[in-house]
A and B are shown apart, each in its own frame.
Chain A
Amino acid sequence: MKDFRIDHESRGPVQLIRLVGSLDMYSFPRLESQLNALFQQGRYSLVLDCRDLDYIGSAGLGALIGFAKQAREHNGDLRLLNVPERIYKIIELLGFTKVLQVHQTEDDAVGSFQAK
């Protein structure tokens, strides 16, 4: 099991956050702190790159919806990128794909904010 890691970089006004490892109840508070810190800086356009994500728990996904809602209240959003098939199956089963945008490429995800 990989250690959980978060890498963050800016793509213009869009914040690209790469998640590595397992996002579970144990590691989620780290992402939560990172997202809260970005919100405090007024950065509400977020893309979570899940390419190297091994696992995401149900509560973590639920919390992401809360962050997406907060972001939308400030004309931003939280969108997912490169979701591995096994994780996509989970989020689709739970209905999260209806409320969280999922993108296949970085350009598409970042560009989707500019197209708003």
Chain B
Amino acid sequence: MGELSKGISVGCVNNRVYARVVGRGTFQNSQPLRQFALEKIDQGQGQFIIDLGPCQGMDSTFLGMLAGIGLRLRQNGPTASIHIVNINARNMDLLQTLGLDRLFLINADAPAFPSDAEYHQLPDTDITQLKHPLNKDETADLMIEAHDNLARIDQRNTPRFKELARFLRETVERRHPNGKEKK
């Protein structure tokens, strides 16, 4: 892999899916990774290795999105898993605070990133240079789902994010009263 540019790079080698987060993981670049991961799971991939070495930090939406991938993988049996590798103390603290260390395998016998693999950067994942505006409804839905995931993992997360969750739900309800179709 060449110079690390900010964003999320992914690759697949030997039935393993690799993702590397450079810069921040936030609600602004969660959707592309979520979509990519779910496609891979649908294709039968069960081993995800996420390199957080160059990751400066993650917000709760990004962590909740990762939790969603972990929960989805859990449905595929005990061999399906997310390995988190190269995590720094600050990000580790976040995972532990939210109870996600119980869902992910952390630095646990994870294979190193194969250097011969071909990686590509998921589009629009460098949050310092987003090319397309985010869709308000999609973003709100993503954030609600992510925080629901966090609450499923650890009940202590419910009060932690209650104001955000309530606000997002009220915002969606205001935009689409009675569940009217979203644009």
Contact = CB atoms under 8 A, between A and B. Distances in A.
Nearest to A29: B97
Contacts of B168: 62, 94
A55 B24 contact: yes
B60 interface: yes
B16 interface: no
A106 B78 CA distance: 56
B94 A62 contact: no
Interface stretch (A9-17, A18-26, A38-46, A76-84): A18-26
Interface residues of B, number: 29
B136 A93 contact: yes
Contacts, number: 62
A37 interface: no
Interface stretch (B31-39, B46-54, B109-117, B157-165): B157-165
Nearest to A90: B28
B94 A95 contact: no
A58 B94 contact: no
B1 interface: no
B4 interface: no
A59 B59 contact: yes
A115 interface: no
Given A65-B167, A99-B167, A58 B136 contact: no
Per DSSP, are chain B's interface residues mostly helix, strand or loop, or mixed?
A: helix
Contacts of A66: 162-163
Given A26-B94, A57-B26, A94-B140, A62 B59 contact: no
Given A94-B140, A95-B136, A58 B27 contact: yes
Contacts of B24: 55
B57 interface: yes
Nearest to B57: A24
Interface in B1-46: 24, 26-28
Contact of B134 (A61, A69, A93): A93
Given A57-B26, A58-B164, A65-B167, A94 B139 contact: yes
Contacts of B125: none
The 5 closest A-B pairs by CB, nearest first: A62-B164, A66-B163, A57-B59, A59-B60, A95-B171
Interface of A: 1, 22, 24-26, 55, 57-59, 61-63, 65-66, 69, 90, 93-96, 99
